A and B are shown apart, each in its own frame.
Chain A
Amino acid sequence: MNPWRNIWTITKRELGAYFTSPLAYVFIVIFLLLCGFFTFFVGGFFERQEASLVRPFFDWHPWFYLFLVPAVGMRLWAEERRVGTIELLLTMPITAWQAIVGKFLASWLFLALALVLTFPVVLTVNYLGHPDNGVILTAYVGSWLMAGAYLAISCVTSALTRSQVVSFIISLVVCLFLILAGFPPVINVLEQFARPWLVDLVASFSVMTHFEGFQKGVLDSRDILFFLSVIGFSLFTTSVILRTHRAG
């Protein structure tokens, strides 16, 4: 049978699960409120007097995602294990990969929807001035890829435990590391005692470093590759964890 059909069946179910629980609505509302508040009040959108979304809007995304994406991803496998439905899922005639990809895709599409719903910010900036919409688009793409990387990490931590809270906390810590590794204050401290190549190495693991390019409107294949490889590696790790469960 066509593997994409199986993946799509899983994706549909998972997407349905988001919208039948309050999670989807709570997430979207909080995300939009945060975006609005930080862009217009904290980010100084109006004070800057420039038709750009990079600093006031996209700069906050790595931080919003830090706790919002693990909240979306924490239930993916932990809930299946807690309720016992993982026994159904893993005995169905589908491969573990199809289940993993299906679940990941559902959550990633959900995050895409949340991102798309921030469109009033784009409309506002276009109404007030003449921004470079190409830059905005690449920044959106980068933001979505970054969310995918966080989400894939949440997948791993969710497969590790049957407690959603534990999954949430671990993935938050890992994602925090991925931010801090390239966060300017941390880099500054690091530069004082570490050799430049080591600082670069640490910074190269950071989502901040790789998101920077997208925010400037540059679609660098290295940045895309970074996010895709974090996603790929994390999903692979998830499959290894599921295989370990199977081994007992």
Chain B
Amino acid sequence: MIKVQNLAKAFGTKRAVDDVSFSVDRGEVLGFLGPNGAGQATTMRMNTDLLSPSGGSVTVGGFDLAEHPIQARRLIGYLPENAPAYTDMTVHGFLNFAAEIRGLRGDARKKAVNRVVEMCFLESVLHQSVETLSKGYRHRTCFAQSIIHDPDVLVLDEPTDGLDPNQKHEVRQLIRRMGEKKAIIFSTHILEEVDAACSRAIIIDRGKIVANGTPQELRQKSEWAGAVTLRVKGVASSAVTTKLYQVPLVKRVTVVDEKDGHVTVRAFPKAGANGALAQAIGEAAHEWHIEQLQAEEGRLDEVFRSITMPDTVKEAAK
């Protein structure tokens, strides 16, 4: 539905976005991640024709955004960062305006407004001025305008920013539900959101795509993927680590905690262990009193950090 090819944007000599390509089909929810200033916001703005690219193209539903901006924009719903809305209007007036400018008139407009009011739970504030709304309601009002024309493509810039945990959950559910029929791109800094709502995620750093895959695939890149946490009772930590290092699949063992005769250690697998580490450690530790044996799935935050941390910081960390 939306296809981004070799997209580039330079501000003066700084290349904010450099040769970014990806595509999102109907039924996909793409999470767009990146540290601040990585080019994430710039890419989102180019996807909605708010910024014109210095190179490359964005095609929406077959329409090139540069050549047929109006046709392409008709297919896009956009929720900008901070969810702006006309503060002088009522929620009802604002949604009516959004529907009208999207070409919906008469009954079609009424139906569209009623539909989004119901979807975004706006009945109670319908005739309230946008200015007096709480952040959560204002957010939902802006979200409602982005889906009022039932667009094929949704571009959401930090859709859960500033919402309380319940509202976040609601919005994620909504994105997930709509993602079944639409192509959705949303940017976020919250990694748990990727698990909660995305079918695929892209990490962008210094203007380039540095990772692209399902949340599961991304997690596999983590050093934690396949790591095993073991807690035993009545054994010295030195004895545990020595024993674990004898297991062929173990690359590294760290002691997490040692207290009152309880020892917790974490073993990291060598490449190619393919999740067999837990089994091997379980066997190695069978003589001890095992209190906990847990395999890790891998951590997105760790992947994110290891990919996007500047080299200098990485060096310093070592």
A91 close to B73 (CB less than 8 A): yes
A87 close to B88 (CB less than 8 A): no
For window 9-63 of A, CB contacts with B under 8 Å fall at: 9-10, 13, 16-17, 20-21
Shortest CB-to-CB span from B145 to chain A, Å, is 7
B88 close to A20 (CB less than 8 A): yes
Shortest CB-to-CB span from B10 to chain A, Å, is 9
Interface-side segment among A92-100, A160-168, A226-234 = A92-100
Among B50, B71, B81, contact of A91 (Cβ-Cβ < 8 Å): B50
Q: Residue A195 at the B interface, CB < 8 A? A: no
Q: A16-B93, A20-B89, A83-B87 are in contact. Are A248 and B52 (CB under 8 A)?
A: yes
Q: Residue A88 at the B interface, CB < 8 A? A: yes
For window 71-124 of B, CB contacts with A under 8 Å fall at: 71, 73-74, 76, 78, 80-82, 84-89, 93, 97-98, 100-103
A88 close to B145 (CB less than 8 A): yes
Q: Residue A240 at the B interface, CB < 8 A? A: no
In which size bucket is the chain B interface?
20 to 34
B52 close to A247 (CB less than 8 A): yes
Contacts of A94 in B (CB 8 A): 70, 101
The distance in angstroms between the C-alpha atoms of A6 and B42, with both chains bound, is: 28
B70 close to A84 (CB less than 8 A): no
Shortest CB-to-CB span from B275 to chain A, Å, is 45
Cβ contacts A71-105/B at 8 Å (1 or 0 each)? 00000000000011101101111110000000000
Contacts of B73 in A (CB 8 A): 91-93
A91 close to B48 (CB less than 8 A): yes
Q: How many A-B contacts are there with CB distance less than 8 Å?
A: 74
Cβ contacts B145-160/A at 8 Å (1 or 0 each)? 1000000000000000
Query: Closest chain A residue to B94 by CB distance?
Result: A13
Q: A9-B100, A16-B93, A248-B11 are in contact. Are A87 and B50 (CB under 8 A)?
A: yes
- Max chain B C-beta neighbours (<10 A), residue from A10, A246, A248: A248
Contacts of A9 in B (CB 8 A): 97, 100-101
A13 close to B97 (CB less than 8 A): yes
Contacts of B74 in A (CB 8 A): 93
Contacts of B87 in A (CB 8 A): 83
Query: Closest chain A residue to B87 by CB distance?
Result: A83
The distance in angstroms between the C-alpha atoms of A248 and B48, with both chains bound, is: 14
For window 190-207 of B, CB contacts with A under 8 Å fall at: none
Shortest CB-to-CB span from A106 to chain B, Å, is 13
The distance in angstroms between the C-alpha atoms of A21 and B102, with both chains bound, is: 26
Among A17, A84, A85, A91, contact of B76 (Cβ-Cβ < 8 Å): A91
Q: A16-B93, A17-B86, A83-B87 are in contact. Are A91 and B100 (CB under 8 A)?
A: no
The distance in angstroms between the C-alpha atoms of A172 and B97, with both chains bound, is: 32
Q: A88-B145, A91-B78, A248-B52 are in contact. Are A10 and B101 (CB under 8 A)?
A: yes
Shortest CB-to-CB span from B97 to chain A, Å, is 5
The distance in angstroms between the C-alpha atoms of A44 and B297, with both chains bound, is: 88
Query: Closest chain B residue to A248 by CB distance?
Result: B51
In which size bucket is the chain A interface?
20 to 34
Contacts of A13 in B (CB 8 A): 86, 89, 97
A246 close to B101 (CB less than 8 A): no
Q: A84-B80, A91-B48 are in contact. Are A16 and B88 (CB under 8 A)?
A: yes
B101 close to A6 (CB less than 8 A): yes
Q: Residue B231 at the A interface, CB < 8 A? A: no
Q: Residue A189 at the B interface, CB < 8 A? A: no
The distance in angstroms between the C-alpha atoms of A20 and B100, with both chains bound, is: 20
Contacts of A248 in B (CB 8 A): 9, 11, 42, 51-52
Query: Closest chain A residue to B105 by CB distance?
Result: A5
The distance in angstroms between the C-alpha atoms of A87 and B84, with both chains bound, is: 8
Shortest CB-to-CB span from B268 to chain A, Å, is 44
Q: Residue B49 at the A interface, CB < 8 A? A: yes
Among B97, B102, B129, B145, contact of A93 (Cβ-Cβ < 8 Å): B102
The distance in angstroms between the C-alpha atoms of A17 and B94, with both chains bound, is: 11
Query: Closest chain B residue to A86 by CB distance?
Result: B84
Query: Closest chain B residue to A23 by CB distance?
Result: B88
The distance in angstroms between the C-alpha atoms of A9 and B86, with both chains bound, is: 14
B52 close to A246 (CB less than 8 A): yes
Q: Residue A123 at the B interface, CB < 8 A? A: no
Q: List 23 A-B contacts (CB under 8 A).
A: A1-B103, A9-B101, A10-B101, A13-B86, A17-B89, A83-B84, A83-B86, A84-B84, A85-B85, A85-B86, A87-B48, A87-B80, A88-B85, A88-B98, A88-B145, A91-B50, A92-B73, A94-B70, A94-B101, A246-B52, A247-B52, A248-B51, A248-B52
Name 14 extra pairs, CB < 8 A, besides A83-B87, A95-B70: A16-B89, A16-B93, A17-B89, A87-B78, A87-B80, A88-B78, A88-B145, A93-B73, A93-B103, A94-B70, A246-B49, A247-B51, A248-B11, A248-B52
Report the 5 A-B pairs with minimum CB-CB distance, sorted nearest first.
A84-B84, A87-B80, A93-B74, A93-B73, A20-B88
